[in-house]
Amino acid sequence: MTTEIKNGIVLMPDGSLDNCSVCIENDKIKGFDIPGDRVINANGNYILPGIVDIHGDGFERVIMPRYNSMMPYDIALNEADHQIIANGITTAYYGITITWEKFKPLRNDREARNFLDFFTEHKTKLKSRSMVHLRYEIYHTIALNWIKESLEKGKIDFISFNDHLDYIESELNNQSKFLQYSESLGLSPQDTKIFLKTLHEKKQEALEVVVEIANFSNNINIPTASHDEETESTRLWYHKQQCHISEFPCNMETAIKAEALGDWVVLGAPNALKGTSLYNRISARQAIQEGVCHILASDYYYPSLLQIAFKLEQWGIMDLPKAWNLISANPAQACGLEDRGCLSEGMSADIIIVESNNKTVQCALTLVQGDIVYNNTQIIASQTPSMLEKNYA
């Protein structure tokens, strides 16, 4: 069966906007202005490629709405999935963190492994194309064999290398914070100092493990990133490991270095919406204006991606087609997802219809591989009795 999405403003493969129709056959895009067996009336709204979110951990707040109050995984994942598709995200990388900080709920070693096992089994029940982005704290070297085994079994689709040790220690200069941290680790203050010193002494071993994981990932075509890079030399080192994604560089100099190396720079859409970083680091909006941000990710807030693309045009920073590349074509390309990110013939029919006016931007319809997975009937009902019309011609 073929489906024609008509009466909309289509983002074309060449980056132009055109008033044409998009035809879907089964799960793929067949072409443009081709009649279909079924018609979806876009009612003058935008017809756009589905959003590809390569770094999203907003699901953690659904699993754990209050600190240490964990909800059942299946209920929480279904709710997160609903938020994802309702905001036009058709491919979602769930950012799962594995760290040496054993006290962190959900992100500790045991919980991260349990969650990954559950997610691997449950993801086929989710409506978005759901994948795993493993965020690996590099001093947690005992996870090496588990990571390689998980990569081999196809449980991990993307991996980023995180080194937050210096930042954590900088936050512990306050004595009360240090005592709280020691208590969280289950160690005395003196043992906490010894523990952190021991981690520092593992730096060479940690980097050797990074090289091993990066090589292993590259050999099986799994994309890799480095996270929160603080210096140009750090970006260069990761670049030499064939790690070509700089995720949330901390300053403009590092982002510029990544750009010069031909690497992808990923920043947070919430940062761009707010205009500032939560941690007084690089401004995503400024980086976009200076041409050193190639991808935006939802980070901790799923609605941010859909909203920021239209805001960037509203603010006069870039037009909608270029802004849309930041959240669809570019992340798809960076992750090697060759079947999505634009509305070209033969591409997967991951398509969204977006209603935009002076006050609101909302997703009216989401299709994943040709199937309608989200239908905002309230919006649709305000425009036409039914979005789906049988074409008997």
Domain harbouring 253, CATH code? 3.20.20.140
Backbone dihedral angles phi then psi of residue 264, each to the nearest 5 degrees: -85, 135
Over residues 131-158, the mean pLDDT reads 97
Burial of 359 (0-12, 13-18, 19+ CB in 10 A): exposed
Q: Are residues 97 and 211 in the same domain?
A: yes
Q: Are residues 136 and 183 in the same domain?
A: yes
Which of 309, 334, 359 finishes a domain? 334
pLDDT at 392: 27
pLDDT tens sequence across 119-130:
999 999 999 999
Q: Are residues 302 and 370 in the same domain?
A: no
Q: Which residue has the tokens 């634009």?
A: 342
Q: In this prediction, what percent of the chain has a pLDDT beyond 90? A: 82
pLDDT at 390: 38
> What is each CA distance from 105 to 65, 66, 97, 165, 265, in whole angstroms?
12, 11, 10, 18, 29
Q: Are residues 20 and 111 in the same domain?
A: no
pLDDT tens sequence across 26-57:
999 999 999 999 999 999 999 999 999 999 99
pLDDT tens sequence across 190-202:
999 999 999 999 9
Q: Which residues contact 99 (CB under 8 A, 6 or more apart)?
A: 107, 108, 109, 112, 137, 140, 162
Distance CA 8, CA 27 (A): 20
Q: How far apart are the first and last CA of the chain?
A: 15
User: What range defines the domain where residue 42 resides?
Assistant: 2-48+343-390
Which of 334, 355, 375 finishes a domain? 334
Q: Which residue has the tokens 């003058």?
A: 44
Q: Are residues 168 and 303 in the same domain?
A: yes
Q: Return the bridge partners of 4, or none.
A: 23, 39
Q: Are residues 36 and 59 in the same domain?
A: no
Over residues 240-256, the mean pLDDT reads 97
CB-CB neighbours of 42 under 10 Å? 24
- SS3 state of residue 245: strand
Q: Are residues 182 and 318 in the same domain?
A: yes
Q: Are residues 135 and 235 in the same domain?
A: yes
Backbone dihedral angles phi then psi of residue 172, each to the nearest 5 degrees: -95, 10
pLDDT at 393: 28
Q: Are residues 305 and 380 in the same domain?
A: no
Over residues 219-229, the mean pLDDT reads 97
pLDDT at 357: 87
Distance CA 12, CA 33 (A): 12
pLDDT at 377: 61
> What is each CA distance from 3 to 34, 43, 352, 375, in whole angstroms?
9, 16, 14, 16
Task: Say if residue 385's pLDDT is above 80.
Answer: no
Which of 288, 306, 334 finishes a domain? 334
pLDDT tens sequence across 307-338:
999 999 999 999 999 999 999 999 999 999 99
The answer to whether the Cα torsion of 146, 152, 154, 156 is positive or negative is positive
Task: Say if residue 83's pLDDT is above 60.
Answer: yes
Task: Say if residue 388's pLDDT is above 80.
Answer: no
Is 371:90 a contact under the CB 8 Å cutoff? no
Q: Specify the range with the lowest mean pLDDT, choosing from 21-30, 59-68, 312-321, 380-389.
A: 380-389
The domain tally of the chain equals 2
pLDDT tens sequence across 228-246:
999 999 999 999 999 999 9
Q: Are residues 205 and 309 in the same domain?
A: yes
Q: Are residues 299 and 370 in the same domain?
A: no
Over residues 60-89, the mean pLDDT reads 95
- DSSP per-residue string spanning 39-103: EEE-TT-EEEEPEEEEEE-TTHHHH-SBTTBPPPHHHHHHHHHHHHHHTTEEEEEEEEEEBS-TT
